[in-house]
Structure 1
Amino acid sequence: MNSVLNPEAPEFYPHLTTFTQGGYVKVHKSIKSSNTLPGTLSYGLFKTFTDFNILTCKLSENVVVQSNQIIATELPAVKLKHNDLESNTEKIIDVNDSILDRININIDTASGVNKTSDLFVRGVQARGTHWNQNSAVIAKIQVGSATFIGAKNITRPQINFKDTIDNSESLWVPKISDKPNNIKPLALNILYNEEGEAVGYEHPYKVELDLYHPPSQFIDPDVEQLAYPAPLEETMFTYVDTEAKLDALVEHLNTVNELAIDLEHHSYRTYQGITCLIQVTTTEGGDFIIDALAIREHIHKLNLAFTDPKKIKVFHGAEHDVIWLQRDFGVYLVGMFDTHQAATVLGLPGLSLKYLLMKYCQVDADKKYQLADWRMRPLPDELITYARMDTHYLLYIWRQMKADLLKNGQPNLLLSVFENSRQICGTTYNKEVVTETSHIPLYVRSKKSFNSQQMAALKMLYKWRDGQARLLDESTTYLLPNHMLLALAETLPREMQGVNAVCHPMPPFVKQNLITIHRMLLSCRELPNEPQLYQMPTSIRSIMNTPLQPLSSYGVHDFAHYTDYSDEQPINLDSAAELLDTEYNNTAPEIEAFSPGNLISYGTIVSDLNADAQLFIPPYDRYRKYRSIAQLEEMKEYKEKEAKVAAISKGNELIKAEVLAKLQQAQTQIENEDKNNTKPIVKIEPEVNEDTQKKTQQRKRKISAEKVEQKETVDLTTNDNVKQELPSNNTKKVDNNVKPFAYKNVDYKKFYNQNVVNKDHKQKQPKMKFKKYKN
């Protein structure tokens, strides 16, 4: 290397030369030494020696440790594992590609190939602010009264997490490893449903929550009223982004009894969501903002204060906050007061934090940044101010609401708020599981009317989108928004241009998977529509869906409190049948044919459909029975067609299986026909009864010997004819020397009865012959 890397620091060049030359020497020596190691068959022979195994294991462990140290500077999320050759090879290849790409980019930048134009730099600097000089463009989008603020090219924080993100549908295991303030030691107990399936883990602080009762100082009226909080500009503020600062905060929380807490969450660019900030406010220490992305693995230390029953934790709307603390950090709450629950118990006209701030503090909070991207680092001043406002006045609000709840002189209302808050603390986090009906809530909210093809497309796209979101760790709405999902299922475009028209502007994920989405929609188009069987008139349908009531109390105008039924609603055949039941009819019918004695039962269908039935069958009852049978047949045919079309998205497995089954059936049928053709054709004489048999025996006595011989010759000729009728492909050989069989003396009854009947009409049992063996 003869070039000068940095003219402003010439003393850097000798050190760089020594470092690179020494590195080349060591790398060359390592390669040369590794080439001397035994390989192939020799390696297997050396592995039989214990000392060789111990040495190679130590060497491999050292290589993995040193490689991880080198890789950590390039890709911190990649870790090599011991005795995992294939996986380690792929990871090393990825790391090498990343290093080479970075070197190429740096070389191009140094040579001026990728030099940014001055015009673009001036435009970016004009848009930038003092808090984010490295960002390309700051995006601010106004949505009603809210403002979405974000920056492009934000590095995904999940990459730097030391704990792996598990988006599978497997059971979620709590992250808690230490249980401070415990009554019962830590034990993770699995919960099972009635079918014996594991559904989750028991709350680690269940016993502590069951035994929790708020201390008397939080139930009794305040002796001294809490002072009104100072403005944000005059309040101490601490930004916690290191482990040392977090430890100092934990020590401070041990000295206070009241703390206000809030969380800021992000769910648009991740599947399960991530907690980005934790705001804490105390009367003595001021406002704290914890950077949950920077010190994610140390947040569990907050359990020391958050699970202390002697301290009160004030939240507003803690249903989601409790879940997020468990999921991301393994942090739990014991002893909480939810101001949202207090507002509900007090019956206030507004339940939001903005309303409570105006009512108790006369502060008009600005909530326009509630859609901000909290992953941005460093945080802008606007977002820091917004986050501090969520907890700055919360302790003062809790004291004021406590006084309102105690106005009647009894702590029942206050205790009810503590009880509702305790139940919120007892909720546990579980992963979202997609079932066969997970798309139904989205369909109901859309208020659309889909046929069977459109519903199949909605279900298929919904499940496919969820699987891709889990794999990519992206939210489902980011990959394919719900309104585009519904539009694709509703229109079912035949061409790809139709998909482009529906998804405008097209998300990047849809553009990458355009062909896949189009094929799924086409496969749903091939599905037959669900059969609409015998559309009923509105009058009959309304009678069938009318709730049951005694006819004696019938009133024409008494149906206002019942549901209004229409043609689009499903038919309730059970209600219609029960309406015709006689136990609800207290008046005798005017027509005799409709009397209970002549009405047929509704249990059987065969007798109802009998055209020769003498009893009177009501026309509607006959129609209902016919309709049920026809519906079963058509639905069976529909299910078969649906299974065939569903095979399109499953690799045509069902179609292949059906074709093979039909080929096998045809081959079996051909073989059976061949076997039937090979059977000899034998003429069977009709059955002879006893009278005709006696007459035949009497005639035999009068026949001369010559006629007997003539009869035998005729039998021979008939036997030869039978031989000629045998097919040519018969493989059995017939012996011509076999004597002819006298068919005229055969009793053909034995072909129909297995047991031979004698004259006394007694069955003769065959005698069993046993061989005697001598020992």
Structure 2
Amino acid sequence: MDSGAGFPPFQQRLTSSLVQMTRTVGQLSAEDLNFHRTSSAELSESLDEQSSRILSLTSTLLKAATTGTDVPAPSLEDEDSIEDNWRGVVDVIDALLERADACLDEFTGVIKRLSPSQQEQSAAKATKKAPAKFPTVYDYGPSKIPKPQLQFERLADNTDVSPFKPLLRTKPHAVVPLEESLKSTDPAIGFRNPYEAEIRSAKYPEPTYSESTPVNYQPWESTTATFVDTMDGVKEMLEELKHANEIAIDLEHHDVHSYHGLVSLMQISTRDKDWVVDTLKPWREELQVLNEVFADPKILKVFHGSSMDIIWLQRDLGLYVVGMFDTYHAACALNYPKRSLKFLLQKFVNFEADKRYQMADWRIRPLPDGMFDYARSDTHYLLHIFDHLRNELVQHSTPDDSLIDYVLEQSKNEALQRYERPVYDAATGQGPGGWYDNLCRNPAVLSKEQFAVFKAVHQWRDEVAREEDEGVQCVFPKHILFKVAHAMPVDLGTLFRTLSPVTPITKDRASDLLEVIKKAKIEGADGPEWRDVYVKPTKTGRAVAAAETEQGFPASQDDLPTAERCDLSQFWGAVLDSQEPLAPPEYSVVASAEALRLSLPLPPMPRTVSEARAKLGDSSPANPAPKPATTPAQAPEEKEEQKIFTVKELGGPRKRKVTPVETSEAAPQPEVEDDIIDIGEKPSKKQRRKEKKDKSALQTPQTEEAQPEPEPFNYDAAASVLHAKPAKSSAVSRKKPFNPYAKALNTSTGARAPKRETAGKSFTFR
């Protein structure tokens, strides 16, 4: 297609075809194709033919999709090969999606063009030619842009872990001379901030403490920013900045294809003009001349979120800021719901900034129009926002609580930061980007071997990134690091599948990585687990992440903390305390029940019916039932402790007391099945009628004599029936056969309705 105008109809046709195909596939998968194969040989041949055709088309598509790439095309010969090569199919699809995403980014300029505050200006801006194509930071493969750091006058040395020495050559507006400022007080700590004395003693201009009408910003459509990429342009800009009372400053940083990162762009604005400075030039350290303005306490420097900007200015350009006002801390002091620059732009300027430009690769030259406008907008409106924030801070301040002083003090603390090189301790995992911090933030269950592999691979990735001057994510991302630690591959095939998709940097060093994994796996067999060094509860009950030393981290492997078991559970209390096991002779049914009761956090239970009634609030005494006459052959009566009874606790507050029933001594009492007693249940009408009928039946004398219990049949003494002769014909044989259901048929009423259970709780006791 020639333009984007023909894409919507194409997308609609494509979507319609995909939906129809999905429905067809869903219908086919719901059918029992194996059954239909057996019913028709013609259908079976047709299915085989279509399967072969689909596999052939799929293989052709996979080969076409991998043409010109490093991803191998899987070969699909039969249905079983689909499962065997499924990972390869997924890799091809992932590569296609990544390429499609990259093409869409290039077509749209990564992000839609940043619009000015007025909607009509956005439409006018869209009529300009499309921005140049450029990669984004999501591209973790080899950089398509030549590394600008290779052209710097001072080349990066990522292996240097000594304390960072400031790049300052001269010190404008000095209170303490440069030579004295660069004296290192402690070699282990490093150099102090050269402008520490000047920052602490700085006095802010008087207008900072008073309320005044906000100054309007210059119209966006009638002004533009000046792109500064020469030293002559820097000097011209410096002369104009010296006459300003306030300036706004912001930076754009890139840290994907550089181990430490690069300041790629610097934006500076006054009340009347904007500049965008290219900081990737070989002479970038010559920008120290801007300290004549940056270190001047009479000129207010406005930042937003300056925490990292101060570090980057020191590390790359040798710039320091005296007299700074951070609008982020002002938003915090005013308790704004959001503190981002995007929120402040929308609140005070009604400008909608698309912050997705933060993820762009700021090394691209020349800058596309959209990125240039976005960079300019960060400082173009910042001084106007400062005016509003200053007025609100003054309005909400009191004589005892000055919000202006609070913001200025916090801004000074930000300016007092000093850059320190990231030092990674491979033994303890401490330091910026160390494995200890990674595991603390991403809890994982690792065995001894897996823990050793994780540490070794983490160190290997860090060393490779330093050597190549790339971000560690360009070697492989963090989630791949965890996958390698869990899988612990010992052959190249498994390693590549675990690392998939494999980055070129790792692919070239795969054999070295494999040896590191094998060695770590062997050494880790006798080493500690992650949980052994993760946390150690102290005597005060506070858990510390590491054994603390004067520097705040373990000094050696012996100082690493070890995990311990807590003496008391915060949830169960002392219920789960371990007890001495009983000796074998002491084990019994009662002892087992007691042990089970003690092992579970159950409330105390009543042991008798009287205790159960008392617990339910029934004060009426139980009516003792007369003991039935026993014969010598009867078994002894079961102890009361072993009887099983159920107490039902109704959901409602009403409880029914047991009404004693007077019966004659000669009349036997109705049997209670399994000694189960229901307490507190209100009988229904049918139950009351049944009780009345049973009562009358009990009062009627029984004529039948009690039959003695039959003697149990002795199967051991009985004759075998396997070879028994047929019985002779007799009067007994002429009788009707025994019908076990005869009594069931001699009934006048149907089965009883099931008893309706009422809501409540039931407890069974022995």
**TM-score calculated relative to the size of structure 2:** 0.50
- Aligned counterpart for 2:461 among listed residues 454, 462, 465: 465
- The 1:159/1:548 distance shift into structure 2, 3 A limit, reads closer
Which amino acid in structure 2 is aligned with residue 169 of structure 1? V
- Aligned counterpart for 2:301 among listed residues 313, 338, 355: 313
Q: Percent identity?
A: 32
1:221 Cα deviation after fit: 1.7
Matched, 1:422 2:412: yes
CA distance in 1, matches of 2:142, 2:501: 20
- The 1:532/1:507 distance shift into structure 2, 3 A limit, reads closer
- The 1:140/1:321 distance shift into structure 2, 3 A limit, reads closer
Superposed CA deviations along residues 22-67 of structure 1, whole A, max 9, x for unmatched, are xxxxxxxxxxxxxxxxxxxxxxxxxxxxxxxxxxxxxxxxxxxxxx
Contact 1:307 1:335 in 2 (8 A): yes
Contact 1:545 1:571 in 2 (8 A): no
- The 1:140/1:299 distance shift into structure 2, 3 A limit, reads closer
Contact 1:151 1:376 in 2 (8 A): no
- The 1:300/1:528 distance shift into structure 2, 3 A limit, reads closer
Matched, 1:165 2:161: no
2:345 aligns with: 357
1:386 aligns with: 374
Contact 2:255 2:471 in 1 (8 A): yes
- The 1:220/1:504 distance shift into structure 2, 3 A limit, reads same
Contact 2:484 2:498 in 1 (8 A): yes
CA distance in 1, matches of 2:541, 2:465: 48
Which amino acid in structure 1 is aligned with residue 165 of structure 2? V
- Aligned counterpart for 2:215 among listed residues 226, 229, 238: 226
2:279 aligns with: 292
CA distance in 2, matches of 1:320, 1:251: 27
1:456 Cα deviation after fit: 1.1
1:337 is paired with a residue whose SS is strand
1:102 aligns with: none
Matched, 1:447 2:443: yes
Higher mean displacement: 270-279 or 477-486: 477-486
CA distance in 1, matches of 2:310, 2:251: 10
Matched, 1:216 2:206: yes
Superposed CA deviations along residues 736-775 of structure 1, whole A, max 9, x for unmatched, are xxxxxxxxxxxxxxxxxxxxxxxxxxxxxxxxxxxxxxxx
Which amino acid in structure 2 is aligned with residue 180 of structure 1? P
* Count of residues in correspondence between the two structures: 412
Matched, 1:524 2:550: no
1:509 Cα deviation after fit: 1.0
Contact 1:190 1:200 in 2 (8 A): no
CA distance in 2, matches of 1:467, 1:131: 44
1:612 aligns with: none
- The 1:241/1:189 distance shift into structure 2, 3 A limit, reads closer
Please list every run of 5 or more consecutive structure 2 residues that lacks an aligned counterpart in the other structure: 1-102, 110-127, 532-536, 543-561, 569-766
- Aligned counterpart for 1:155 among listed residues 141, 146, 157: 146
CA distance in 1, matches of 2:142, 2:355: 19
- The 1:139/1:265 distance shift into structure 2, 3 A limit, reads closer
* RMSD, aligned α-carbons: 3.2
Contact 2:348 2:385 in 1 (8 A): yes
- The 1:293/1:131 distance shift into structure 2, 3 A limit, reads farther
CA distance in 2, matches of 1:369, 1:150: 20
2:57 aligns with: none
Contact 1:302 1:331 in 2 (8 A): yes
CA distance in 1, matches of 2:230, 2:322: 26
Superposed CA deviations along residues 565-614 of structure 1, whole A, max 9, x for unmatched, are xxxx93258x79xxxxxxxxxxxxxxxxxxxxxxxxxxxxxxxxxxxxxx
Contact 1:169 1:433 in 2 (8 A): yes
CA distance in 2, matches of 1:389, 1:460: 45
1:489 Cα deviation after fit: 1.2
- The 1:379/1:219 distance shift into structure 2, 3 A limit, reads same
Higher mean displacement: 408-417 or 274-283: 408-417
1:260 is paired with a residue whose SS is strand
Matched, 1:243 2:228: no
- The 1:151/1:518 distance shift into structure 2, 3 A limit, reads closer
CA distance in 2, matches of 1:177, 1:531: 50
1:265 is paired with a residue whose SS is strand
CA distance in 2, matches of 1:507, 1:339: 41
CA distance in 2, matches of 1:305, 1:414: 23
Please list every run of 5 or more consecutive structure 1 residues that lacks an aligned counterpart in the other structure: 1-122, 536-543, 550-568, 577-775
- The 1:132/1:276 distance shift into structure 2, 3 A limit, reads farther
1:530 Cα deviation after fit: 5.5
Contact 1:192 1:198 in 2 (8 A): no
1:463 is paired with a residue whose SS is helix
2:320 is paired with a residue whose SS is coil
- The 1:151/1:314 distance shift into structure 2, 3 A limit, reads farther
- The 1:496/1:232 distance shift into structure 2, 3 A limit, reads same
- The 1:413/1:526 distance shift into structure 2, 3 A limit, reads same
2:253 is paired with a residue whose SS is strand
- Aligned counterpart for 2:479 among listed residues 480, 483, 489: 483
CA distance in 1, matches of 2:415, 2:206: 20
Contact 1:139 1:150 in 2 (8 A): no
CA distance in 1, matches of 2:411, 2:330: 9
Contact 1:172 1:200 in 2 (8 A): yes
1:732 aligns with: none
CA distance in 1, matches of 2:539, 2:308: 42
Which amino acid in structure 2 is aligned with residue 419 of structure 1? E
- Aligned counterpart for 1:186 among listed residues 178, 182, 204: 178
1:181 Cα deviation after fit: 0.9
1:164 Cα deviation after fit: 2.1
Which amino acid in structure 1 is aligned with residue 259 of structure 2? Y
1:236 Cα deviation after fit: 3.5
2:588 aligns with: none
CA distance in 2, matches of 1:161, 1:506: 30
Contact 1:178 1:186 in 2 (8 A): yes
Contact 1:259 1:282 in 2 (8 A): yes
Report which of the two has the higher share of helix. 1
Contact 2:143 2:257 in 1 (8 A): no
1:517 is paired with a residue whose SS is helix
**TM-score calculated relative to the size of structure 1:** 0.50
CA distance in 1, matches of 2:108, 2:356: 20
- Aligned counterpart for 1:571 among listed residues 564, 573, 576: 564
1:128 Cα deviation after fit: 11
CA distance in 2, matches of 1:432, 1:177: 24
- The 1:431/1:128 distance shift into structure 2, 3 A limit, reads same
Superposed CA deviations along residues 333-359 of structure 1, whole A, max 9, x for unmatched, are 000011111111111110111111111
- The 1:182/1:128 distance shift into structure 2, 3 A limit, reads same
CA distance in 2, matches of 1:154, 1:548: 54
- The 1:461/1:367 distance shift into structure 2, 3 A limit, reads same
Which amino acid in structure 1 is aligned with residue 145 of structure 2? I
2:755 aligns with: none
CA distance in 1, matches of 2:474, 2:129: 27
- The 1:334/1:288 distance shift into structure 2, 3 A limit, reads same
1:267 Cα deviation after fit: 0.7
Which amino acid in structure 2 is aligned with residue 225 of structure 1? P
1:300 Cα deviation after fit: 0.8
- The 1:548/1:417 distance shift into structure 2, 3 A limit, reads closer
